[in-house]
Structure 1
Amino acid sequence: MQARDALPVAPLAPASALAALAAVGDQRQQAAFQRALGGQLGKTLQGQVLTRLGDGSAVVQVDTLVARMRLPAGIAPGAELPLKLIALTPRPTFELGVGGARVTAEALPAAALASLESGAAATHSAPDPHAATLSRTGQLLGSVLAAAQQAGQPARAVTGAAPLLAAPGADATRLAAAIEGAISKSGLFYESHVAQWSQGQRTLAELATEPQMAGPRPGASTDPGTAQFISMQLATGEQGALAWQGQLWPGQPLQLELARTEVERDAPDERDGQKPEPTWQSRLRLRFAGLGEISANLALTGTQLHLRIEASKEAGPLLHAHAERLSAALTAAGTPLATFAIDGRADG
């Protein structure tokens, strides 16, 4: 169990504004909260009551997490509570060590955490006007990023655990579905998929195919391996880019990079009243025994597809010979090539 990063606050008076913020659910934060507790099921964690809200509920710190709970009457701010995690869904549920009462926990929105921390700062005398502080969420993310750095070489791509296909020779539809499934079920989008599940848009069986549901990730959120994965999730959301590597079929390595580039505001299309289309860029790299390394670089804006293939000089003539076949297949699929180029390299 990780040492608690206690928030140094004095007992606060009930705050109606904070209670209103806490009442606003954030499914993504709740999903992240459940995931952080995934490896603690059945364990007894130490909790501390930070404050009571105007609606009678309480803000409780559980290890490095902060949640809203409806505790029995008489438990005052500052009280230490042994909390046994007995369930994760539909809400994390704890059994109190005193009296055996059961309480559910709800993640607090970031705005509520910021209000709580601001209220705590206001209770201290002679505050330093130049002091800068991080919110609880910011502190947690900072600890995750620091732990990711401890893992040494940063993880830059999600690694597939098994080949996407059993053997070569699959048609384009099966190949596309296999790649799409690998990206979707990589775990990078697990929290958004949990939110969709809570809205009835996904089944539990679909969630079960992702790594977070295959079993609790070892350690807490500050375990270096887990922290690296969370760091990749944050980078994917912030930069709109991801990388995947693994085997297309047994013995055939594949590297895939995807990125989405938004058009800047005030672009010509937007000034004309039309919303500009984002550009999807991808790079697919394969190495074949007879052809060497082949890299396909694609850029898709709306229905405009630009393709550039980089290959060895030995493979270039073969690719040129089948270029018309590729162009015709893409046109038949509804995505004609706007530009197409094959670049030869001296290194095979």
Structure 2
Amino acid sequence: MLPRADLNPTRPLASLEAATTVVSSTDARLEVFTRLNQIAIGRELQATVDAMLDNGTYLVKVADTTARMALPVGTKVGDTMSMVFIAKDPRPTFLLTQQQGSTPASLSTTARLIDHLLHAAEQEGAPSAVTTRIPLVPSPAAMEPKQVASALQNALSASGLFYESHLHEWISGTRPAAELAREPQAQLSGSLKPAQTTPAQDANSVDLGRLAANMREIGDGAHKLMNLIREAQLQPANTAAIDADLIAPTQSALPTVEPEAARMINLQLNALEHQAIRWQGQLWPGMPMEWEVQEEHEHGGRSQGNTEPSTWMSTVRFELPHLGGVAATIRLVGDRVHVQVNTQTEDTATTVRAFGGMLADALDAAGTPLDSLSVKQHESP
């Protein structure tokens, strides 16, 4: 008899290795995108070229992450470069300011102008708030709520932050030229100042040539950043294969921008980046005041079709003669108001609480009910 053939012999089990976690390319790109978007606008960074890929793009080590970028022709592995982070949307965008290695970087007029403005603002300590020397009201006796509210509105409207939109309104015939002439940009290079106008000098007789010149110089300044982003999007590289844009076009003569114009452009860029407006001035002569206003967005932004009411937050800070340092934050949700007051001393907090009923009655009479009032003692209001 032939021996039985064992068709399924039992064999000792070989050692097994744990399965390796597979990370999709989509997840990896999302992680790079998230890290790059945590960089502050205007921050200067050092980067190193780690590798060149088959599609002509490069792996660049920047901000503790590795991103794929389309770099200038002639760039080699090992080159180092300085770049400024200038935009988050629609894709992280850097401005190349210096390259050390095989190829010198050359920048467009627009790129160098933006870079100059960012560096000048950093070196000179340019303020991030609108400032004015004219008090909102002439004296404490003139502290009438409607007058203060109107003065605050006028202070922001004429601050220069909204100059381009006001220019559009002027062109459309909905804003008088005399109002436009009061803004800082309109008064640069000897343009008309409010004192030079009379009621008879309307849009037909105002110096529109100077106004238009300043419009070209300053109005375009705030939009140069968007032009840079568009230039990057038109680069011949395969944009689907890169994680971030790098802008380094050809070089040409740099136009002259007045220091006050550069300051205003910096303020506009700062307001766009932080989505908030800060104002510093005087409530009345000798009474400093800080004011900040912004729209709050839930979950990173308001989606189209969102029916939730807008939420606005306004914070004022001042040092009062008898009450000391006081800060009040007002949140307006639809037509409902929430107020939080911080004071330096508990005595001041007690005094403010005693007037809470009067505040609620006043807001009810104005058609804006007070939903909540919180008054707390805090060391740094």
TM-score clears 0.5: yes
What is residue 234 of structure 1 aligned with on the other side? 269
- 1:162 and 2:102 are equivalent in the alignment: no
Q: Secondary structure at the match of 1:194?
A: helix
- Written as runs of structure 1 = structure 2, the 5 A alignment for 1:148-227 is 148-151=121-124, 153-169=125-141, 170-216=143-189, 222-227=257-262
What is residue 378 of structure 2 aligned with on the other side? 345
Structure 1 residue 265 displacement after superposition: 7.3
Amino acid aligned to 1:326? L
- 1:275 and 2:287 are equivalent in the alignment: no
Question: Counterparts of 1:214 and 1:154 in 2: how far apart (Å)?
Answer: 20
Cα deviations across residues 278-325 of structure 1 (Å, max 9, x unaligned)? 321111011111110110011112112211001122211211111000
What is residue 367 of structure 2 aligned with on the other side? 334
Structure 1 residue 248 displacement after superposition: 1.1
Provide closer, same or farther for how the CA distance between residues 167 and 302 of structure 1 changes in structure 2, counting only shifts above 3 A.
Answer: same
Alpha carbons 2:346, 2:377 under 8 Å: kept: yes
With 213-222 and 228-237 compared, the bigger mean Cα shift is at: 213-222
Question: Counterparts of 1:148 and 1:217 in 2: how far apart (Å)?
Answer: 23
Alpha carbons 1:145, 1:228 under 8 Å: kept: no
Aligned equivalent of 1:287, options 311, 315, 319: 319
Q: Secondary structure at the match of 1:257?
A: strand
Provide closer, same or farther for how the CA distance between residues 330 and 132 of structure 1 changes in structure 2, counting only shifts above 3 A.
Answer: farther
- 1:259 and 2:294 are equivalent in the alignment: yes
Provide closer, same or farther for how the CA distance between residues 347 and 176 of structure 1 changes in structure 2, counting only shifts above 3 A.
Answer: closer
Provide closer, same or farther for how the CA distance between residues 155 and 217 of structure 1 changes in structure 2, counting only shifts above 3 A.
Answer: farther
Q: Secondary structure at the match of 2:347?
A: coil
TM-score, normalised to structure 2's length? 0.51
Amino acid aligned to 2:350? P
What is residue 285 of structure 2 aligned with on the other side? 250
With 167-176 and 286-295 compared, the bigger mean Cα shift is at: 167-176
Provide closer, same or farther for how the CA distance between residues 135 and 340 of structure 1 changes in structure 2, counting only shifts above 3 A.
Answer: farther
Amino acid aligned to 1:337? L
Question: Counterparts of 1:291 and 1:221 in 2: how far apart (Å)?
Answer: 48
Provide closer, same or farther for how the CA distance between residues 275 and 166 of structure 1 changes in structure 2, counting only shifts above 3 A.
Answer: same
Structure 1 residue 133 displacement after superposition: 7.9
Provide closer, same or farther for how the CA distance between residues 156 and 347 of structure 1 changes in structure 2, counting only shifts above 3 A.
Answer: closer
With 313-322 and 219-228 compared, the bigger mean Cα shift is at: 219-228
Question: Counterparts of 2:300 and 2:377 in 1: how far apart (Å)?
Answer: 37
Aligned equivalent of 2:114, options 130, 141, 144: 141
What is residue 334 of structure 2 aligned with on the other side? 302
Considering Cα pairs closer than 8 Å and 6+ residues apart, tell me whether 1 or 2 has the greater RCO. Answer: 2
Q: Secondary structure at the match of 2:350?
A: helix
Cα deviations across residues 156-175 of structure 1 (Å, max 9, x unaligned)? 21111211111123321111
Question: Counterparts of 1:132 and 1:278 in 2: how far apart (Å)?
Answer: 45
Alpha carbons 2:128, 2:270 under 8 Å: kept: no
Question: Counterparts of 1:266 and 1:194 in 2: how far apart (Å)?
Answer: 28
Cα deviations across residues 259-293 of structure 1 (Å, max 9, x unaligned)? 122334798xx79x643333211110111111101
Structure 1 residue 182 displacement after superposition: 0.6
Structure 1 residue 234 displacement after superposition: 1.2
Cα deviations across residues 198-252 of structure 1 (Å, max 9, x unaligned)? 1111001111221222343899764555423211111212332111111111111
Question: Counterparts of 1:134 and 1:300 in 2: how far apart (Å)?
Answer: 45
RMSD across aligned C-alpha pairs, in angstroms?
3.0
Question: Counterparts of 1:332 and 1:257 in 2: how far apart (Å)?
Answer: 26
Q: Secondary structure at the match of 1:156?
A: coil
What is residue 323 of structure 1 aligned with on the other side? 356
TM-score, normalised to structure 1's length? 0.55
Alpha carbons 1:242, 1:259 under 8 Å: kept: yes
Structure 1 residue 331 displacement after superposition: 1.5
Cα deviations across residues 182-210 of structure 1 (Å, max 9, x unaligned)? 11111111121111101111001111221
Give structure 2 stretches of 5+ with no counterpart: 1-102, 192-216, 218-254
